[in-house]
Amino acid sequence: MTETAEPQQENPLLEGLGLRRAPDPCALVIFGASGDLTRRKLFPALYSLAMRHMLPERFAVVGVARSEETDDEFRERMKEAVQEFGRDQFKEDVWDWLAEGMRYVSTDFADEGGEDRVVEALNELDEQRGTAGNRVYYLAVPPDAIATLIQEIGERRSTEGWTRVIVEKPFGRDLTSAQALNVEIGRHFDESEIFRIDHYLGKETVQNLLALRFANGIFEPIWNRQFVDHVQITVAESIGIEGRSGFYEQAGAIRDVFQNHLLQLVALTAMEPPIDFTADSVRNEKVKVLRALHTPGPKHVVRGQYGRGFVEGVEVPGYREEEGVAPDSLTETYVAAKLYVDNWRWADTPFYVRAGKRLARRETTIAIEFKRAPHPPFEITDDEGLRPNVLVCHIQPDEGVSLEFAAKMPGQGMTLRTVHMDFLYGGAFRTGIPEAYERLLLDCFLGDTTLFTRADEVEEQWSLVDAMVAFWKRDKPTFPNYAAGTWGPAAADDLTRRDGRTWRRR
């Protein structure tokens, strides 16, 4: 990078982010550097951080994967990835600074000789780039490779500087495997050095949920069972499995999305105010919610699998027709459940949650529906005229918050209509929203674990999922049971209809 593009010591952007200091010098090691995550998310995020001078001035990246590749080939491939997937205008001087500190090591993850070559590359970068022995290891690898890598890294960790490890989801396949993985990582790393990543927690709109609740006096007093009728959380995708049949056949919707993303949104919605915004204070409150979740019975859980259908006017195949999927597969692509948080704040307030693929549209929302006005002082002739008030947090794609309330229509008489008061990130701040991985990578470089899941948090999530999956072993569902491009199986509608409620369709 040219002199004008080098990171500055005094950076007002850091202050704007609420950061009191710049990250320490460090080297980032990405295991699985040939994968889609590295190409689509990690390097575009690193480039955006470099563009804004948020990376350490002394910084390096080592890519590690099985495929044969030279340093220059790796640099060129990542350059193309940044140009294709990055959110910023590509600037050669920014890229040149980042590329100068990039290295590539080809090795099998279980090859001890290859791991030694990784250490050699890091030691060279310590001398050339001044990374001071500080290491961040990013494990973007299949779950069965994590334990081996943890052991290899732990045995070779530098005696100088600090070491941190980022582990991608899924963290285990069930409670037993997650506990075993926690024990293995705990042999080599302290909990403060472990960053179990859930990219949903890095989304600006998810973090804004905490600001919405705890920084505004108008919301927190009514954020409880006395005023809230129910909560709906939707994580809907219009895409299919995108060529990931090998992973998805093992995971299904409950392990891919429900166990992590969806339960994290439940915890953030239901948690008590933390005493401060330190990592342990926030995570302590989330764990309390997860422990208070009542295991739903079979009647309160619905699973589904998509068949053929139309998404945005284009015909798409059913799940069993996807490449690599068994023609009689019983893997679920949709999960809905009615959950209860058994504590003082939320007792008897249902949380309706759903997550699925090939649904009508891409949408992640948290809807807080309040109880109806107990006694309107005027006659309502239209049942639709006075619907309940709803506060909706739009996580993606239209990031923002909307409030639905009743207003009188102009003219004679008292005719009411539901109107919307909207806050949109793009309109209010007129700036691009950072990608989740930008925030999460920067937090790891800073050593801030607030937006990462803790060991007991992960185990509580798996405990609930294991109990739900146990019910499924007793029956054989009739799949497919919903058409692609719809909102899921009919049984999901019954889940809310039995309680006199309906899923939101907008």
* 85-111 as b/e: b if 16+ CB within 10 A: bbeeeeeeebbebbbebbbbbbbebee
> Rounded CA gap, 250 and 247, in Å?
5
User: C-alpha distances in angstroms, 458 versus 234, 287, 452?
Assistant: 21, 9, 10
261 is catalytic: yes
Backbone angles phi and psi of 239, in degrees to 5: -80, 165
Closest CA to 504 of 353, 385, 383: 353
Query: Taking a C-beta distance cutoff of 8 angstroms, is the pair 402, 394 a contact?
Result: yes
Residue type (1 letter), 195: F
Among the listed residues 506, 253, 274, 334, the one whose alpha carbon sits nearest the alpha carbon of residue 404: 506
Tokens of 425: 């990130």
Token pair belonging to 32: 């699985």
Q: What share of the chain is helix, strand, coil (3-state, %, to 5)?
A: 40, 20, 40
3-state SS class at 487: coil
**Residue 159 carries which DSSP code?**
S
Task: Please tell me the total number of residues recorded for the chain in this structure.
Answer: 506
Strand partners, 424: 400
Question: Which candidate in 261, 294, 375, 420 is catalytic?
Answer: 261
Half-sphere exposure of 444 (CA within 13 A, CB side): 32
> In angstroms, how far is CA 495 from the centroid of its own chain?
26
- Quickly tell me which residue has 């369709």 as its tokens: 505
Residue 456: which of 170, 175, 151 has the closest Cα?
175
Burial 455-489 (b: 16+ CB within 10 A, else e): bbbbbbbbbbbbebbeebeeeeeebbbbbbbbbbb
| Pairwise CA distance, residues 446 & 114, whole Å | 28
CA 117, distance to chain mean position in Å, is: 33
Nearest to 79 by CA among 19, 24, 39: 39
- Integer CA distances (angstroms), 9 to 6, 13, 131, in order: 10, 11, 16
> Which of the residues are catalytic?
261
